[in-house]
Amino acid sequence: MEVIKGAGEYSPGEPNDWVEQFASADLSVGTYSIPVGGVDDQHPHTEDEIYVVQAGRATLVTPSGNALVSAGSVVFVPAGEPHQFTEITENLALLVIFAPPYGSKA
């Protein structure tokens, strides 16, 4: 067992701050923070991912649909699907789970 400290907590560092807090052979966990009014500049990932919104409010835009997200929202984005958080009206803190681990299928 391991307690993953800081996972999902908003980080006011650099805009679009990504911090990986844990990785194993099968998955990784990190926090993605985007400030209010920020622009999400991420690209499709080679791994499946789950976003758990810890704080904030935004719209997640993908080719398969759009979703308004806020604290408590949980969203699955399959590997390779383009996606972007838009209309960020509150500082956004996302707990992100990648399987397999982030960057492992690059």
Confidence of residue 13 (pLDDT cuts 50, 70, 90): confident
Question: In whole angstroms, what is the distance from residue 18 CA to residue 15 CA?
Answer: 9
Q: What tokens were used for 72?
A: 């408590």
- Domain borders along the chain are 17-99
Distance between alpha carbon 23 and the CA centroid of its chain, in Å? 15
Quote the longest CA-to-CA distance of the chain: 37
Q: Record the pTM.
A: 0.93
- 11 and 17 Cβ atoms separated by less than 8 Å: yes
With a cut of 80, say whether residue 29 has pLDDT above it: yes
Pick the CATH number of 17-99 from 2.40.50.140, 3.90.180.10, 2.60.120.10, 1.10.630.10: 2.60.120.10
Tell me which DSSP letter residue 106 carries. Answer: -
